[in-house]
Structure 1
Amino acid sequence: MSKLIGYARVSTRKQSTDRQAADLIAAGVRRDDLYIDEGVSGARASRPQFDRALDALHEGDTLVITTLDRLGRSTQSTLSLADDLRARGAGFRVLNLGGGDVDTSTPMGSMLFTIMAALAQMELEIKRERITDSISKRRDAGLHLGGRPRRITDSQVRNALHLIQSGQPAAQVARDLGMSRATLYRRLRSL
């Protein structure tokens, strides 16, 4: 008896797979056959739940995903997966392609899948380009690039330097500031 194996993935732990899971269940995937990777990049070759989903696939089963970018980051890796599924006799379905099965064994299905995989890779590359451009513009404008806000001001670090120069142990001064000695030295170098 063939079954649907669902796979969902998000790249960071802050993101939610709720929408993907709901779409997969609505498409007929049973909760027991739903595999979810949270905080796992699509660029990684090994994704624990994805590997389990592939192990669960048997001949006649269908792998179901919501969008092509959940599979991988390159056209080559996505097409390689499609070839592997075809060789195993498993089907493949992408919900954002109108909800129909994409049969990569037919010329039309293979062409559609190849085009969509290439578009997913292009979308990722455009997104990377935009992020790099945005960071560059913010850096050139002297704007904050994100990261953790500094709790310890430059003035406090200068005072710490005076304490160290007056004979206080650096480890104790750093501890009093609530930072590691290495962080204190790094902040001192940056002044």
Structure 2
Amino acid sequence: MLIGYARTSTTDQHAGFEAQLVELKAYGCERMYQEQVSAVASRQELERAIDMLREGDKLVVAKLDRLARNVMHMGELLQQIEAKGAGLVILSLGSETVDTSTATGKLILNMMVSVAQFEREMMKERQVEGIKRAQAEGKYKGRVPKAMNQADKVKALVAAGVDRVKIQEQLGMSKASYYRCLKV
């Protein structure tokens, strides 16, 4: 059985999400698991998809970056998949489809995961360098703290006798942000 898995990091990535689903259906996936969560968050649908795998099945993803965060994570996922006697198919690796049920597929996957992780780390380094340069030029101030924009509301609610927990829930802020607002 071909089991498809599609993921985007945010709910506003409609086009990318739909494109993955179309690719997976076109490839012939009989069952689909989909979610819109960050790669670092708990991915319940991925876990369900892997749990569903049986001997001879294949987990199919449209793109490598929709599945694994880094080389170590890819290795862990591949171990889980192979422990079930299943394989992994990645549809969009350049112009080729990679199938880990073959030795060549495993080799290509390992090289691609390593390159992808290298690219991600290089991008992070360039981002840090760019932020430092912008700070030195006085162009980068950082993000505007959302909770601090509500300091007046926090103080007004406190003055009205509203409980701290209720204020946090109402304004969607953490305990630390609540106390920071009181100091302003």
TM-score normalised over the length of structure 2: 0.71
1:96 and 1:57 map into 2 onto residues whose CA distance is 21
User: Matched residue pairs, number?
Assistant: 169
**Residue number in structure 2 paired with 1:145:** 142
Residue pair 1:6, 1:35 contacting (<8 A) in 2 also: yes
Q: Confirm or deny that 1:186 pairs with 2:153.
A: no
For the aligned residue pairs, the C-alpha RMSD in angstroms reads 3.6
In the superposition, the TM-score normalised over structure 1's length comes to: 0.69
Give the AA of the match of 1:35: Y
Q: Which has the higher strand share?
A: 2
Q: 4+ runs of 1 displaced by more than 3 Å?
A: 130-140, 142-153, 182-190
Tell me how far 1:27 sits from its aligned partner.
1.6
CA contact (8 A) 2:98 2:108 kept: no
Name stretches of at least 5 consecutive residues in structure 1 with no aligned partner: none
Deviation at 1:75, TM superposition (A): 0.4
For residue 123 of structure 2, what is the aligned residue in structure 1?
Answer: 127
Q: Secondary structure at the match of 1:72?
A: coil
Equivalent in the alignment of 1:43: 40
**1:9 has 2:1 as partner:** no
For 2:178 and 2:98, the matched residues in 1 are separated by 58
Write out aligned runs for 1:89-108 (5 A).
Answer: 89-97=85-93, 98-106=95-103, 108=104
Which of structures 1 and 2 has the bigger CA Rg?
Answer: 1
Whole-angstrom distance in 1 between the partners of 2:109 and 2:27: 19
Match of 1:34 among 32, 53, 66: 32
Structure-2 change in CA distance of 1:184 and 1:56 (3 Å): closer
Share of identical aligned residues, percent?
31
Partner of 2:159: 171
- Residue of structure 2 equivalent to 1:61: 57
Could you tell which deviates more after superposition, 111-120 or 77-86? 77-86
Give the corresponding residue for 2:23: 23
The amino acid that maps onto 2:159 is: A
